[in-house]
Amino acid sequence: RVDHRLLPHGWSLRVVGAALRRKLDVYAVVYWEGIEIGRTPVSYNSKRPLWCEDGQTTGKAAEAHFNIPYPTCVDPMLRIELWEKAQAKKSKVASLVGKVVLDVDQQKMLMKETASKAYHVKHNF
């Protein structure tokens, strides 16, 4: 298993069909080849949720890491769904806000961009 960081710091997830017109308490669910591999922490009261790779939790950013297994099929899909957290008083069921599906070529572009950003990170040791 390889530890891949889902999105580099500063990237925003633009969810297909979802325009957050009001602030929501949302989280993302990540699927690899149709199987859930993880969830992000809830981003509270946000129109533009952001999950970082660097562990910084200032503002609305929260850390999110996922282990993506080696693909078992020729064209593996990475699916990310954005869900609104259920409000206890209103409903106990979460609501789907939107989703994005990345094919192999889009995943390669994401990994290339991640590697490029990781190479340029400054460390203070």
Q: Give the phi and the psi of residue 117 in degrees, each rounded to 5.
A: -70, -40
pLDDT given at position 15: 44
Residue 80 carries which side chain, given as an amino acid letter? I
Cα–Cα distance, 78 to 71 (Å, whole number): 11
pLDDT given at position 20: 62
Asked whether the beta carbons of 13 and 80 are under 8 A apart, the reply is: yes
Among 65, 71, 3, 13, smallest CA distance to 40 is for 65
Among 83, 105, 97, smallest CA distance to 20 is for 97
pLDDT given at position 88: 59
pLDDT in tens, 36-90: 988 888 888 877 777 765 544 344 555 666 777 777 777 788 888 888 887 656 6
Q: Which domains does the chain possess?
A: 2-119 (2.60.40)
pLDDT in tens, 79-123: 888 888 876 566 667 888 888 888 888 877 877 776 666 555 554
Among 84, 42, 33, 94, smallest CA distance to 63 is for 42
**pTM, 2 dp:** 0.63
pLDDT given at position 118: 57
Sign of the CA dihedral running 83, 86, 8, 111: negative
pLDDT given at position 13: 47
